[in-house]
Amino acid sequence: MAHPLSGQLTGKVAFITGAGRGIGRGIALILAERGAAVCISDISSSESESVAGEIKQAGGKALAAPSDVTDAASVANAAQLAIRRLGKIDIAVANAGVIGAKGFENRDRYNEDDWDMTYGVNVRGLVHTADAVIPHMKERRQGRIINISSQGGRTPRGVRLVANTITPYLVSKAAAIQWTHALAIEMGPYNISVNTVCPGLLWTPMFDRIAQQNITADPSLRGKTPHEVFEMSVKARVPLGRAQTPEDIGRAVAFLASDDASEITGQALNVNGGSIMS
Ligand SMILES: NC(=O)c1ccc[n+]([C@@H]2O[C@H](COP(=O)([O-])OP(=O)(O)OC[C@H]3O[C@@H](n4cnc5c(N)ncnc54)[C@H](O)[C@@H]3O)[C@@H](O)[C@H]2O)c1
């Protein structure tokens, strides 16, 4: 039987960054299931192609248009390709994110490279993604921009087991929320809404790196696997007692992209099983 919301986004086109795996892939699968045509834009060409292929195989409409969100021209080119090939962009999801620079998981404290990397992707990347679609959305006087932040952007608590060493990431994710607020005010007159989804704890390649870094920084975790550390976090923090899935985040994005959310802008929505509540 078809999903009751399967037609929710029929006729819409979504552009999603970092959609080659993890949460971005989950968002793409849900938006496609709800009827949207989706443009998969990841820095990895092979992963962009693979997710687009998966969606087409399931009967959906998808296009791979790889881009590096740290490079404004690269995202703008990918968005232009989506507009040419899919006709328009109604929904832009700025999901691409990183926890730190290369080798972060082996350091017990962040360094300059981690600040540059998290700011380049998690903050400037959101700005570049918005810049790539805003002229088109303004012209059409409609659009939905959805940024993926983190519950760690609301409070530094709730992300790891011991003292924070993912500080650059947390600060970049707070910036993503403030960026959402500022852009929502700027874009309101053009009927473009801007919202954030703040995911909780998800077992993706990103969390694997966080858990590895926890083990590096906290001797009491030595001998545990990254997945065991992740499970400890979930058990300690989540009232609903379970991790979230990429599809859970996709369903929140689908809601914010739908007609049901037409009066919602400038908001940050936690999808975290209750692990933080503000
Ligand atoms: N996993 C979690 O528990 C969690 C929790 C809260 C928020 N988030 C956020 O959700 C988003 C997705 O996280 P994930 O867990 O799926 O991570 P992930 O590392 O599994 O996937 C991130 C994707 O982004 C792509 N990417 C990285 N740099 C890029 C760039 N410069 N340009 C384009 N694409 C790039 C990667 O190739 C990858 O496909 C991130 O913004 C992350 O901060 C994740």
As a three-state string, the secondary structure of 10-40 is: CCCEEEEECCCCHHHHHHHHHHHHCCCEEEE
Q: What is the pTM of this model?
A: 0.97
pLDDT interval class at 35 (50, 70, 90): very high
Q: Which of 64, 83, 28 is nearest to 253 (CA)?
A: 28
Closest residue by CA, ligand 1 atom 43: 97
Over the stretch 89-128, which tens digit does the pLDDT of each residue have? 999 999 999 999 999 988 888 999 999 999 999 999 999 9
Q: In Å, how far from its chain's centre is CA 230?
A: 19
Report the nearest atom of ligand 1 relative to the CA of 120: 31
200-254, pLDDT tens digit by residue? 999 999 999 999 988 998 888 999 999 999 999 999 999 999 999 999 999 999 9
Domains located in the chain, CATH noted: 13-202+245-271 (3.40.50.720)
Residue 158: pLDDT band with limits 50, 70, 90: low
CB atoms within 10 A of CB 244: 22
If one residue of 98, 197, 237 were mutated to test the ligand 1 pocket, choosing by the most ligand atoms within 8 A of its CB, it would be 98
pLDDT value at residue 70: 98
Residues 175, 86: Cα–Cα separation, whole Å: 31
Please state the atom number of ligand 1 nearest to the C-alpha of residue 199: 6
Confidence of residue 272 (pLDDT cuts 50, 70, 90): very high
Arithmetic mean of pLDDT, 135-140: 98
Question: In the numeric block, which tokens belong to residue 35?
Answer: 């009827």
